Structure 1
Amino acid sequence: MTGILGLAGITHFLRPETFDSIVPPRLGNPRFWTYASGVAELGCATMLAVPATRRLGGTASAALMVGVFPANIYTVKKHWHSPRGRAIALARLPLQVPLVWMSWNIAGGRAEASR
């Protein structure tokens, strides 16, 4: 999770236009949300990397994964009339489940026991 979130967070700053395009318009300035979610991902990755804050990082990561889910739903709606775009967007939806599950296991200390 640390690597996934760290890489995703960095990508928000290197290629912000990719993330801007999936911010639902009703949220306002897409670049603000792109950068804010990038900061949140980097913050979660940092907390996960530090043993003293790992469990808090797991909780924050699970909340973040749930919080960004509406962007994935918006992406499905946005690409609904494009068979390829729709297929890619729909395929992404279930990927959130294992990310939330892994984060929740870290929060509960279960990931540490399996190491």
Structure 2
Amino acid sequence: MIRTGLRWLLAIFYLAAGIAHLRSPEFFLAIMPPWVPMHAEVVLWTGVAEIAGAIGLAQPLWPSLRRAAAIGLAGYAVCVFPANVHHFALDMAREDGGLGLAYHVPRMFAQPVIIWLALWVGEATDWPFPRPTN
């Protein structure tokens, strides 16, 4: 029951993030590391990936699709981590401190948790809560 509730919560989170990428790409373009090519296209396709992952994670009919979506979202979270670090560095370099440490430090620590959570709620892993065996 907890796993299902968290799966829906994570799916809603990724759906909202994907919609934000498509509706308001300016924020995401501003934090994109300069070494990433084709910024606008990357923001567009990351939004599409988040929406597709959210739909795959939330659907109840095909566990293998849910598992694939979970692995994809976990991989996605790994891939966007450099943008989060870049955003942290940009903000801290601002004279006003940007969003500040109270925003960025928890975000940095949350990233590995989000990666694990995607894998756990999508049943790609049972760690550290193994299912009982009969």
TM-score (norm 2): 0.74
Counterpart of 2:119 in structure 1 is 104
Counterpart of 1:32 in structure 2 is 41
Coordinate RMSD, CA, aligned: 1.9
Asked if the contact 2:92/2:98 (under 8 Å) is kept, the reply is no
Residue type of the alignment partner of 1:3: I
Q: Is it true that 1:63 corresponds to 2:63 in the alignment?
A: no
CA radius of gyration, larger in? 2
Residue type of the alignment partner of 1:17: E
Q: For residues 61-92 of structure 1, what are the alpha-carbon distances to aligned partners after superposition, in whole Å with 9 as ceiling and x for unaligned?
A: 11111111010011112122233434233332
Q: Quick one: structure 1 residues 38 and 13, their matched pair in 2 at CA, closer, same or farther if it must change by over 3 Å?
A: same
- Matched pairs, number: 112
For residues 106 and 90 of structure 2, the distance between their equivalents in structure 1, rounded to whole angstroms, comes to 14
How far has the Cα of 1:109 moved from its partner? 5.9
3-state SS of 2:44 partner: helix
The match for 1:48 among 40, 57, 71 is: 57
For residues 102 and 80 of structure 1, the distance between their equivalents in structure 2, rounded to whole angstroms, comes to 28
For residues 81 and 27 of structure 1, the distance between their equivalents in structure 2, rounded to whole angstroms, comes to 20
Q: Is it true that 1:89 corresponds to 2:104 in the alignment?
A: yes
Asked if the contact 1:57/1:107 (under 8 Å) is kept, the reply is no
TM-score (norm 1): 0.85
How far has the Cα of 1:32 moved from its partner? 1.1
Counterpart of 2:21 in structure 1 is 12
Name stretches of at least 5 consecutive residues in structure 2 with no aligned partner: 1-9
Identity within the alignment, %: 27
Query: Which has the larger helix fraction?
Result: 1
